Structure 1
């Protein structure tokens, strides 16, 4: 989601104003500085054991944000990307790691491989993952479309719609309770959850009541549609799409779950997908009847989330989509 510009950190190593520096070392003759033992630094411990490094040669900050901090750890065994959060426990990063791991296992599109999630001894949490050296563009859109469709085709679930863990969309909890019916899942755990947040946070009974009417009348939008639970990135916008140094597409910062493949395009209003992207995608997974009628329905979830996170600037877009569907469905 767009909130990641303000929160989650891009992996792009292009912040010249942030200096790289060698690993900290404390002078033991100055006891008034707190000296962290090796066992008190789980990030360093993992890198120097399971990460198979013998020394950390450089630690380089990569940007900053209001949610997480990010660093590149250079070692004699390669580089690692580390995100830390000093106030949130491991559950948020566990959700991210599960998503990255699931996408990685499809062996289709490149994602940073997750290695380790854990708590920090002073509070908060961390995640260690593969460091991806990015190129200078977002890559070829036709390749992105094809590889994304291949991921959707390869990543299937026998449990229905949902995910093994709850995660977040930006900083909003995303409920992933396994559900056998897609319409029920999307209505309750995506639209319904966001509508309730808007009611609780803003007292917005108008958008809540109209949204509830829409939730109860979604079935006509899915007539003659075959819906399989596909592995979705879940938050695919331009800030979460890049390419590696070879020009291959890379996607990151997911909010994964198994859902209708078309829901992946819910952030298309700020993803910049062009004709070549969709043409390549639909060559792998053909477009189904009524696709155009459902596009705004999947955007609605993200507009509601932005409304709940950033305020009234997104309310009119969300309400307009709801009202358009109520007129279309005549309910």
Structure 2
């Protein structure tokens, strides 16, 4: 069920966790004041509700807790984290807001981010009643491509704040050069994490050779910065009760549209999805040669998050590219 409340603005800033840095930006959502129960307070004032009829726990992933607040003004989806300050949810809200503003694919609309009086933070957003499937594949492909076409940035590649991919910081400093951005802020960052966490000098050194030699994979391409969900796997794809595709839990930034398929190994995209997508945004020259390069970022992230089970997949991709590029 949707809600009828709106987004309003603030220019407040929050303390941020170590390793996450911020670029100042005006925010399209509000920050809750400290109170006895800022979630309830917002719902019963700015949320236009006069009473909360039920609070039910719902699935919110392995990092956060989540609840549905049923009210006489509709239902709200609330995520809380008792350990992390509001910057993580603030980045999520900015991503959701950017995707929502394209008016293409359906996403939960963010309403409020704030601090909890006992520590931690929360985000209030539109509650969407999910259907039984992950949506019609051709419709999902078409709407995702429409979002990529509509969501453009004049600043280049990056995002206004740093966010996370899983629980890994995602560096979003702006760049006018996609190859440099992807090499340094995506692959390079993950390779350094692998070196720091595991002392894995082999994958670090081979990966850096790939980064330094991957430019030919992008020759004769004009790459426009487009808004990416950034973490599009099956757990972040659903549908509403009418079967319309819904995407959620983003790690947004502006990048090469092909990078959106980096989680395809666990997204379950059908051929009908790709057919519909490429009807809106035609496949670019050399797409097949770059496809594994975009998978690599997410395999490296899974290696850093979950351990050695993902190392062989990442290493195989790196070795294949080094042979292809004679590097």
Look up the SS of the partner of 1:39 in the other structure: coil
In the alignment, the residues of structure 1 paired with residue 61 and residue 181 of structure 2 have an alpha-carbon distance, to the nearest angstrom, of 32
Aligned equivalent of 2:113, options 117, 137, 160: 117
Contact 2:142 2:273 in 1 (8 A): yes
Answer yes or no: is 1:99 the counterpart of 2:65: no
Answer yes or no: is 1:246 the counterpart of 2:258: no
What does residue 256 of structure 1 align with?
Answer: 252
In the alignment, the residues of structure 2 paired with residue 240 and residue 291 of structure 1 have an alpha-carbon distance, to the nearest angstrom, of 24
What does residue 20 of structure 1 align with?
Answer: none
Given the superposition, is the C-alpha separation of residues 301 and 132 from structure 1 closer, same or farther in structure 2, using an over 3 Å criterion? Answer: same
What displacement does 1:243 show?
A: 0.5
What does residue 142 of structure 1 align with?
Answer: 138
In the alignment, the residues of structure 2 paired with residue 153 and residue 201 of structure 1 have an alpha-carbon distance, to the nearest angstrom, of 38
What displacement does 1:134 show?
A: 0.6
User: Superposed, which structure 2 residues align to 1:298-309 within 5 Å?
Assistant: 298-309=294-305
User: Superposed, which structure 2 residues align to 1:142-291 within 5 Å?
Assistant: 142-291=138-287
What displacement does 1:65 show?
A: 5.0
Look up the SS of the partner of 1:162 in the other structure: coil
Given the superposition, is the C-alpha separation of residues 289 and 65 from structure 1 closer, same or farther in structure 2, using an over 3 Å criterion? Answer: closer
Look up the SS of the partner of 1:216 in the other structure: helix
What displacement does 1:83 show?
A: 0.2
Given the superposition, is the C-alpha separation of residues 124 and 158 from structure 1 closer, same or farther in structure 2, using an over 3 Å criterion? Answer: same
Aligned length: 294
What displacement does 1:63 show?
A: 3.1
Contact 2:111 2:126 in 1 (8 A): yes
Q: Deviations over 1:234-266 (max 9, x none)?
A: 000011000001110000000000000000000
Return 5+ residue gaps in structure 2 as ranges. Answer: 1-33
Look up the SS of the partner of 2:193 in the other structure: helix
What displacement does 1:199 show?
A: 0.2
| TM-score of the pair, normalised by structure 1 | 0.88
In the alignment, the residues of structure 2 paired with residue 46 and residue 267 of structure 1 have an alpha-carbon distance, to the nearest angstrom, of 36
What displacement does 1:226 show?
A: 1.5
What displacement does 1:139 show?
A: 1.3
Given the superposition, is the C-alpha separation of residues 272 and 101 from structure 1 closer, same or farther in structure 2, using an over 3 Å criterion? Answer: same
Task: Please say which structure displays the higher CA radius of gyration.
Answer: 1
Q: Deviations over 1:28-61 (max 9, x none)?
A: xxxxxxxxxx931110011001101000000000
Answer yes or no: is 1:293 the counterpart of 2:269: no
In the alignment, the residues of structure 2 paired with residue 156 and residue 90 of structure 1 have an alpha-carbon distance, to the nearest angstrom, of 26
Q: Which runs of 4 or more aligned residues in structure 1 lie more than 4 Å from their structure 2 counterparts after TM superposition?
A: none
Q: Deviations over 1:163-212 (max 9, x none)?
A: 00100000000000000100000000000000000000000000000000
What does residue 17 of structure 2 align with?
Answer: none
Answer yes or no: is 1:87 the counterpart of 2:83: yes
Aligned equivalent of 2:104, options 103, 108, 131: 108
What does residue 124 of structure 2 align with?
Answer: 128
Answer yes or no: is 1:71 the counterpart of 2:63: no
Return 5+ residue gaps in structure 1 as ranges. Answer: 1-37
Look up the SS of the partner of 1:305 in the other structure: helix
Given the superposition, is the C-alpha separation of residues 154 and 292 from structure 1 closer, same or farther in structure 2, using an over 3 Å criterion? Answer: same
Aligned equivalent of 2:46, options 40, 47, 50: 50
In the alignment, the residues of structure 1 paired with residue 191 and residue 100 of structure 2 have an alpha-carbon distance, to the nearest angstrom, of 32
